[in-house]
Amino acid sequence: MFNLDERYRGLPATREQVLALHTSLNTPHVAIPGKQAGPAQAFVVGIRGGQGAAAVFVYLYLAEAADCAVYLSGRRNMSGDEYRDDEGDALAFVESLGFMMDDANWRALDAGQQDEMLKTLPVFFKDPKLVPAVVARAEEKKNVTTTLGRFLAAF
């Protein structure tokens, strides 16, 4: 059972900490309590923490709202079988929300590809507002507002 955990805004991790990564192939419209409804992207990530503890996270990225929702099972220090069970439960959970998931085959990727994913996928940023597309959109909005203000001031 996965529960929303408001303490998480992102899942920054190193290449070595990521055990598995699944990404959504589609962006269905979802409604998450307390969040603006809209199209979302899903990620299921297995992360190894300190002392070898592992956890499976479900990260839903709401690009239009520059927000996210992070779900976790609450189990830590799992055996290999428990980890695989949680990963399967996480995939079933996001698929029940309408996501079609794809295994990114994290372990089969070379270090350069892994680094690129860590720098570009929203799930690995500390805060969804720091995702490059969100930052670019905010800068574009600022430029449009500035240009409009100058234009109106000319009259």
Q: What is the pLDDT of residue 142?
A: 46
22 within 8 A of 43, measured Cβ to Cβ: yes
**Residue with the larger pLDDT of the pair 77 and 96:** 96
Provide the pLDDT for residue 75: 72
* Structural contact between residues 101 and 95, judged by C-beta atoms closer than 8 angstroms: yes
Q: What average pLDDT does range 77-82 have in this prediction?
A: 76
How far is residue 61's CA from residue 69's CA, in Å, rounded to a whole number? Answer: 7
Q: Say whether 131 sits in a helix, a strand or coil.
A: coil
For the residues 84-94, what does the mean pLDDT come to? 94
Mean pLDDT along residues 115-137: 80
Exposure of 35 in the CB half-sphere (CA atoms within 13 A): 23
Residue 153 has a pLDDT of 56
State which of 45-49, 80-84, 94-98 shows the largest mean pLDDT. 94-98
Integer Cα distance of 103 and 39 in angstroms: 21
Q: How confident is the model at residue 141 (pLDDT cuts 50, 70, 90)?
A: very low
Contact 9, 68 (CB under 8 A): yes
Give residue 30's pLDDT: 94
Q: Which range has highest mean pLDDT (1-10, 51-60, 83-92)? A: 83-92
Mean pLDDT to the nearest integer, 5-23:
93
Unique residue bearing structure tokens 């589609």 = 26
Give the pTM.
0.82
82-89: long-range contacts, CB 8 A cutoff, minimum separation 24: 83/19, 83/46, 83/54, 83/56, 86/55, 86/56, 87/20, 87/44, 87/46, 87/56, 89/1, 89/2, 89/56
pLDDT at site 144 = 41
* 140-to-3, 5, 116 alpha-carbon distances in Å: 35, 32, 24
pLDDT at 3 over 60: yes
